[in-house]
Structure 1
């Protein structure tokens, strides 16, 4: 990993993203998706909700870094609640 100057947390982050994509692909094959309408008023699938969750979590983490001096673990907790809300109501 030194040739790319990655740290273990960075590698773990991308590993988790890859595992999530593999899991969602497997779920889509085993259990075909049915789009549903949520609070956004548009049809979304599991993949759409995953994308919305990842994008929103990135913005939450950037805002946390820019506005607060608290540890980043707090942003992770906020992101978990955000992900639950997106998959429940969007």
Structure 2
């Protein structure tokens, strides 16, 4: 894959491709089974799309915090925490 037209790495391209695939999957899920608002542990009723948006924001903050406050150069730890947090948010949020 030639990404030299922009200063992207292959990891960045995979990240944005993954986000696009998640959005497509959520769109198809919404068309197949329309969502209803529900009350979880969040202080407001949310839909699947709301919880997805909040989990993406949470993942961004987890990763930025990890980069800002640690000297570890691997991002597997915040990725693992972000995936777990997204699962909890989507299931119980």
TM-score range, shorter chain: over 0.9
With structure 1 as the length reference, what TM-score do the two structures score? 0.94
How far residue 80 of structure 1 moved from its aligned partner, in angstroms, is 1.2
Larger helix proportion, structure 1 or 2? 1
Secondary structure of the 1:43 match is coil
State the 1:81 CA deviation.
1.1
Q: CA deviation at 1:69?
A: 2.0
Q: Choose which of 9, 12, 16 in structure 2 pairs with 1:10.
A: 12
Find the counterpart in structure 1 of residue 76 from structure 2.
Answer: 73
Q: Distance in 1 between matches of 2:8 and 2:30?
A: 31
Residue 40 of structure 2 corresponds to residue 38 of structure 1: yes
Structure 2 SS opposite 1:2:
coil
**Per-residue CA shift, 1:50-76, capped at 9, x if unaligned?**
000000000000000011122210001
More strand by share: 1
Taking only aligned residues, the RMSD between alpha carbons, in angstroms, comes to 0.9
TM-score of the pair, normalised by structure 2: 0.92
Query: Which stretches of structure 1, 4 residues or more, deviate above 4 A after TM superposition?
Result: none
User: Any stretches of 5+ residues in structure 2 without a counterpart?
Assistant: none
Could you list the runs of 5+ residues in structure 1 that have no partner in the other structure?
Answer: none
